[in-house]
Amino acid sequence: MNRRMLQVLRSGPDDEAMWPPPIWMMRQAGRYLPEYKETRAEAGSFLDLCYSPKFATEVTLQPIRRFGFDAAILFSDILVVPDALGRRVTFEPGVGPRLDPIKVNEIKELTVANALEHLKPVFQAVNDIRAALPSETTFLGFCGAPWTVATYMVAGRGTPDQAPTRLFAHQHRAAFLDLIDVLTDVSIDYLSAQIDAGADAVQVFDSWSGILGEPDFNEFCLRPMKRIVAGVKARHPNTPIIGFPKGASLHYERYVEETGVDCVGLDWTYPMKLARERFGTQAVLQGNLDPTRLVAGGEALREGVATILSEAKGSRFIFNLGHGITPETPIDHVAEMIELVRAG
């Protein structure tokens, strides 16, 4: 088995750096691909797409067939977790996810007891995808971090600054921490089940960590992620865990030190050179091309890739974007980015 990305994830600070680095993209299976749009139309609703092993497998494999990335990531959504907890989740075309905002007295009614049963189609998809992937392709499972999932459960939708959830957390601190704990518990079970089904490694997306001040970052991001790492590692000690605390800025160093992640995803605002200096020996670094450079192409793309490769060379490193690929990204630009990275 020669899974280059898995080798990097399992490497130590004294191991020789792999070059050129492995490459994959967040949201690589999605709306920028015409084949995805065709499958999406055939599947019906977005949740039907996520819960169908057949369609989830097909969508996960599409970017691997087209580009030969070093890793595939399960096609699903972070909001299958609240759906599995019994909350109503819908996806409205052109609008996005909608949930019934959770009330304080409903938090105590949440239970993880039936969540894994509800998510069985996801685990079947993981099994089917691993069987269909090339042997050299690393396969990633994932979930949303408790804080990020909680923002949707409280507000009922995505909001620019998560003010509804921040306010809720200030007004109902104990209840909100209970919600974070429930989401942490189900995340441990969910990730562990994905690993049991065939995932080589897992990533936890904390897409909204960057809008929190230090005390809240400690309680809502650091503490639960530390618990998730410990809980998953207790069951699967050799499975690498990637954390992606988007926008964490000055908190990145503490995030690496305190959570125990094997790899940390950097958004495009955090310099790769600084990451190497501050925590490059503690964790594998992943990232961090600005997705708009990929949309722009040309010199903006070439300059962005060159800078990252120059600053990361000699370190344990996985090339990725600093957030997910956007739907308007030209496919030719993705192919060029891969060629630039693989040329080293």
43-59 residues labelled b (16+ CB within 10 A) or e (exposed) = beebbebbbbbebbbbb
Q: Which two tokens stand for residue 7?
A: 């080798």
Q: What is the DSSP letter of 16?
A: P
Task: Determine whether 31 is an active site residue.
Answer: yes
Compute the distance between CA of residue 106 and CA of residue 179 in angstroms, rounded to an integer: 10
Sign of the torsion formed by the C-alpha atoms of 192, 198, 201 and 203: negative
Which residue is catalytic, options 40, 87, 166, 316? 40
Compute the distance between CA of residue 280 and CA of residue 52 in angstroms, rounded to an integer: 39
Which residue is catalytic, options 3, 10, 27, 87? 27
Place of tokens 């310099």: 271
Report yes or no: 233 and 261 within 8 Å, Cβ to Cβ: no
Task: Determine whether 70 is an active site residue.
Answer: no
Report yes or no: 137 and 62 within 8 Å, Cβ to Cβ: no
Which residue is catalytic, options 32, 51, 152, 270? 152
Task: Determine whether 293 is an active site residue.
Answer: no
Compute the distance between CA of residue 56 and CA of residue 76 in angstroms, rounded to an integer: 7
Sign of the torsion formed by the C-alpha atoms of 195, 233, 76 and 69: negative
Rg (CA), the chain: 19
Q: Which two tokens stand for residue 183?
A: 């989401």
Report yes or no: 206 and 221 within 8 Å, Cβ to Cβ: yes
Which residue is catalytic, options 36, 51, 70, 77? 77
Q: What is the DSSP letter of 332?
A: H
Pick from 36, 179, 167, 60: nearest CA to 124: 60
Question: Active-site residues: which are they?
Answer: 27, 31, 40, 77, 152
